[in-house]
């Protein structure tokens, strides 16, 4: 099904082309700092583009704003029976007048092996058996829509919800989501369907070199990891705890203004955001009247290697509510009344600071962040645990961060790396504060292929309300990631 | 102009920070709540969770484990009803051979717990027949009004502190209270409405049935 959809997309647009050529040889240095340029695909391998686009930041797509895109992949189209052989009917998108769609993306294939005894709760939770899996298959759709206008969408194809076994049942089991469906096209045989996660979808207008305005869903501009999230770009196999725990929202829906101003050998970049904020389904609906605001400021300098220092902020309100109805009989005749009851609500503030220094083959990268929340006392959620007394979630200030050190050698284009990370987990009764240490190697045999292998150990400073932290979680992870 | 705009933006961004702090480390919980371990809030003594925060217990009630229970000598005639004085003869010690229950009262059944000793209660056909927090233990013709486990919810540091009652297991991880231990094949020790629950990390214990799976436990039959 997915293949068919892709074929249709290719056939309809007829401008698909391998993105491999876009990836010039480059280390994992993200676009935003390695070179203040655009035109790198998701792998963030900066291509040799000479015209800087100051307004773009690390979250920028590989904008080929003025690049010349072949109208069609000639041989492929000719051999493809789904496309027209008559150029006059091949579709307006192929012509000179229409916007050109660029398709590219990344994928990764991983192996995870956790260690520990059978009673290790985390091992049982994360994955009790060594497993191979395809983790990401992300497709980017970029288009220049005219002078100063462009658009980007990123979708992740995923096997989920197949295999989701995170929800407890009343009988003490974790029933797995069954994504098996009958294949009506194949004599009622069965197959397992997956899902699509829209990572971002925005349109941008850039009236000035130092200002671009985007509307839609975008990745929250903070630090480095969240923006440069493509697995060929990031050094390690797994993202650090504080990034995965969402101390800042991973993405938001709303407006963002961003840009970069060059001063000599340095550049000052910024981003200001206005969004729905965090919510149970904030990508499509805000459940309160409070809009979230935030932003990022960073300075890039090439005086001694590439140095980037940034600060980030986010302020918003989370509200979860349930839509209900009742029958109002106070009037002359019954009438339905629809209203909402709030389940949980809190105000939150996130602050972050980050640093990245690339000097020759050396990479030093760290992000440190804080997220605090104060619940509305009327809607403070209950917590669960072994405590026979009902308990409530406490207001919290959680802190976290990571520090990554690596050195890219010329030999095999190999980078040994170590990373230390911490997350205080004061936002949940289940998890105690955690530290994790990782050591691994990252090899880039070609600009678009990355091999990774690492060993890691996470340990906890306490038990948590359910004993989650009673054991360490050592594991081995490896991955091959590629950009296409 | 650009530099001025940059300064304005910088000021705007920085103003989002300290001026907007939402967290007060000295006040992490709601009204009538206090901070517990593992970043949780519990109700103050005498208060229990209500629809929005913690509310006080009523007269002749005390809080225990998040619920208002009747003080000693009182019981609810029905779930949700106010606490009333207990019938004097209910629950008194008896011996089926030497010390029978008081004749003429409602509680003439001596339910034997150990050998010939037990407590005075009454037979029942339904919960309506039971008083004072006792619950009807359905066992055909031998159904009787069962007494809540002795010692349940008492504070403890070791199992020794729970000795002498029926709640002989001291939960030492979080709350340090006495709970009723159970095991496979011996789940009938759990009070009515409770199930024997295995939380893996420690001894199987009796908990309200709906709290077992809700807290990642497995019901043991």
Bridge partners of residue B55, in order along the sequence: B48
Contact A379 B52 (CB under 8 A): yes
The answer as to whether A284 is a domain residue is yes
- Residue B72 — pLDDT band, cuts 50, 70, 90? confident
Q: Which residues, including other chains, have CB under 8 Å from residue A371's CB and lie 6 or more apart?
A: A247, A248, A348, A349, A350, A397, A398, A427
What was the pLDDT predicted at A97?
Answer: 66
Which residues on A lie below 8 Å from B174 (Cβ)? 385-387, 465
Which is higher by pLDDT, A367 or B2?
A367
Q: How far is C-alpha B54 from the geometric centre of its chain's CA atoms? A: 16
What was the pLDDT predicted at A48?
Answer: 33
Those of residues 187-206 in A touching chain B at CB distance below 8 A are none
Q: What is the ipTM of this complex?
A: 0.70
Contact A386 B214 (CB under 8 A): no
What was the pLDDT predicted at B16?
Answer: 54
Contact B35 A391 (CB under 8 A): no
What was the pLDDT predicted at B28?
Answer: 95
The answer as to whether A344 is a domain residue is yes
Contact A168 B216 (CB under 8 A): yes
Task: To the nearest 10°, report the CA torsion of B9, B12, B13, B14.
Answer: 120
Contact B39 A375 (CB under 8 A): no
The answer as to whether A166 is a domain residue is no
Q: Does A426 touch chain B (CB under 8 A)?
A: yes
Bridge partners of residue A86, in order along the sequence: none
Number of domains in chain A: 1
Residue where the block lists tokens 């490896």: A478
Give the DSSP H or E segment for A451. Answer: strand A449-460
- For chain B, which residues make up each domain, given as ranges? 29-85, 87-148, 149-221
Count how many Cα atoms sit within 13 Å of the Cα of residue A378 in the half-sphere of its side chain: 5
The shortest CB-CB distance from B22 to any of A272, A348, A393 is to: A348
Q: Does B9 touch chain A (CB under 8 A)?
A: yes
d(CA A127, CA A111): 11
Those of residues 3-42 in A touching chain B at CB distance below 8 A are none
C-beta of residue A436 within 8 angstroms of C-beta of residue A456 = yes
Count how many Cα atoms sit within 13 Å of the Cα of residue A377 in the half-sphere of its side chain: 16
Those of residues 113-142 in B touching chain A at CB distance below 8 A are none
Contact A385 B199 (CB under 8 A): no
Q: ∠A243-A247-A248 over CA atoms, to 5°?
A: 95
d(CA A179, CA A281): 22
B214 phi and psi angles, rounded to 5 deg: -65, -20
Q: Which residues, including other chains, have CB under 8 Å from residue B128's CB and lie 6 or more apart?
A: none
Stretch B165-189: mean pLDDT: 85
- Indicate which CATH number applies to the domain containing A246: 2.40.160.10
C-beta of residue A294 within 8 angstroms of C-beta of residue A273 = yes
A152 phi and psi angles, rounded to 5 deg: -145, 140
The answer as to whether A186 is a domain residue is no
Contact A394 B199 (CB under 8 A): no
Q: How far is C-alpha B181 from the geometric centre of its chain's CA atoms? A: 14
The answer as to whether A170 is a domain residue is no
The shortest CB-CB distance from B174 to any of A171, A427, A465 is to: A465
B8 phi and psi angles, rounded to 5 deg: -60, -45
Three-state SS at A76: helix
Contact A295 B21 (CB under 8 A): no
- Residue B7 — pLDDT band, cuts 50, 70, 90? low
Those of residues 157-186 in A touching chain B at CB distance below 8 A are 168-172
- Give how far A312 is from chain B: nearest CA, Å: 8
Those of residues 54-73 in B touching chain A at CB distance below 8 A are 65-66
B104 phi and psi angles, rounded to 5 deg: 90, -15
What was the pLDDT predicted at B217?
Answer: 83
Nearest to residue A162, comparing CAs of A176, A175, A174?
A176
Q: What is the mean pLDDT of each run of 10 residues along chain A (484 residues)?
A: 37 34 33 34 36 39 37 38 44 61 97 92 90 97 95 96 83 85 94 95 96 98 92 94 93 97 92 97 95 97 94 97 94 93 96 97 97 95 74 93 97 96 89 94 96 96 84 96 97
Nearest to residue A421, comparing CAs of A467, A367, A474?
A367
Domain that holds residue A27: 2-159+194-483
Which residues on A lie below 8 Å from B216 (Cβ)? 168, 384, 466
10 Å Cβ neighbour count for B119?
20
C-beta of residue B195 within 8 angstroms of C-beta of residue B206 = yes
Q: Does A390 touch chain B (CB under 8 A)?
A: yes
Is the CA virtual torsion A117, A462, A354, A135 positive or negative?
positive
């Amino acid at each position: 099904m997915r293949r068919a959809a892709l074929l249709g997309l290719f056939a309809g647009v007829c401008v698909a082309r391998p993105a491999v050529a876009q990836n010039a040889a480059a280390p994992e240095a993200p676009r935003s700092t390695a070179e203040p340029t655009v035109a790198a695909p998701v792998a963030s391998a900066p291509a040799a583009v000479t015209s800087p686009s100051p307004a773009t930041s690390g979250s920028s797509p590989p904008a080929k704003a003025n690049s010349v895109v072949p109208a069609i992949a000639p041989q492929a189209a000719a051999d493809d029976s789904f496309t027209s052989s008559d150029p006059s009917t091949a579709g307006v998108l192929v012509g000179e007048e229409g916007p050109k769609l660029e398709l590219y993306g990344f994928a990764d294939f991983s192996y995870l092996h956790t260690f520990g005894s059978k009673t290790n709760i985390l091992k049982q939770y994360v994955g009790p058996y060594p497993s191979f899996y395809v983790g990401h298959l992300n497709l980017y759709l970029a288009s220049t829509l005219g002078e100063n206008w462009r658009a980007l969408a990123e979708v992740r194809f995923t096997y989920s919800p197949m295999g989701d076994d995170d929800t407890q049942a009343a009988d003490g089991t974790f029933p797995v989501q069954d994504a098996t469906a009958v294949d009506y096209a194949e004599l009622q045989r069965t197959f397992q369907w997956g899902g699509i996660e829209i990572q971002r979808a925005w349109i941008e207008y850039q009236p000035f070199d130092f200002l671009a305005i985007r509307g839609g869903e975008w990745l929250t501009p903070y630090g480095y990891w969240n923006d440069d999230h493509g697995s060929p770009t990031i050094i390690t196999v797994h993202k650090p705890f504080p990034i995965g725990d969402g101390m800042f929202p991973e993405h938001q829906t709303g407006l963002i203004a961003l840009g970069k101003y060059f001063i000599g050998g340095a550049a000052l970049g910024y981003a200001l955001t206005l969004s729905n904020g965090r919510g149970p389904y904030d990508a499509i609906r805000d459940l309160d009247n409070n809009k979230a605001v935030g932003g990022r400021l960073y300075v890039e300098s090439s005086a001694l290697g590439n140095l980037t220092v940034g600060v980030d902020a986010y302020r918003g309100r989370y509200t979860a509510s349930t839509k209900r109805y009742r029958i109002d009989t106070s009037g002359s005749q019954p009438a339905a009344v629809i209203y909402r009851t709030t389940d949980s609500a809190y105000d939150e503030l996130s602050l972050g600071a980050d640093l990245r220094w690339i000097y020759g083959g050396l990479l030093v990268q760290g992000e440190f962040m804080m997220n605090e929340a104060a619940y509305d006392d009327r809607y403070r959620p209950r917590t669960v645990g072994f405590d026979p007394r009902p308990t409530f979630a406490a207001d919290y200030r959680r802190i976290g961060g990571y520090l990554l050190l690596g050195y890219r050698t010329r030999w095999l284009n190999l980078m040994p790396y170590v990373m230390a990370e911490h997350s205080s987990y004061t936002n949940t009764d289940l998890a105690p504060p955690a530290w994790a240490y990782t050591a691994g190697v990252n090899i880039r045999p070609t600009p678009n292929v990355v091999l990774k292998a690492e060993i890691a150990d996470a340990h906890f400073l306490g038990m948590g309300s359910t004993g989650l932290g009673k054991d360490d979680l050592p594991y081995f992870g490896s991955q091959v990631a590629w950009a296409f | 102009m650009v530099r001025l705009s940059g300064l304005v933006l910088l000021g705007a961004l920085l103003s989002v920070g300290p001026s907007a702090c939402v967290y007060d480390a000295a006040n992490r919980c709601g009204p009538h709540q206090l901070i517990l371990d593992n970043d949780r809030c519990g109700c103050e003594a005498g208060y229990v969770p209500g629809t929005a925060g913690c509310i006080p217990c009523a007269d002749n009630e005390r809080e225990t484990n998040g619920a208002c229970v009747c003080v000693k000598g009182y019981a609810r005639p029905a779930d949700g009803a106010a606490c009333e004085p207990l019938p004097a003869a209910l629950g008194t010690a008896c011996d089926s051979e030497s010390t029978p229950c008081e004749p003429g009262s409602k509680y003439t059944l001596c339910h034997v717990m150990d050998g010939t000793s037990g407590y005075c209660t009454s037979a029942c056909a339904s919960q309506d027949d039971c008083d004072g927090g006792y619950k009807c233990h359905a066992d055909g013709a031998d159904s009787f009004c069962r007494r809540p486990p002795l010692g349940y919810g008492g504070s403890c540091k070791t199992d020794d502190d729970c000795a002498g009652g029926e709640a002989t297991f001291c939960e030492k991880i979080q709350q340090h209270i006495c709970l009723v231990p159970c095991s496979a094949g011996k789940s009938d020790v759990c009070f009515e409405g409770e199930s024997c629950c295995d939380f893996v990390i420690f001894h199987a214990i009796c908990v309200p049935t709906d709290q077992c799976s809700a807290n990642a436990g497995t019901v043991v039959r």
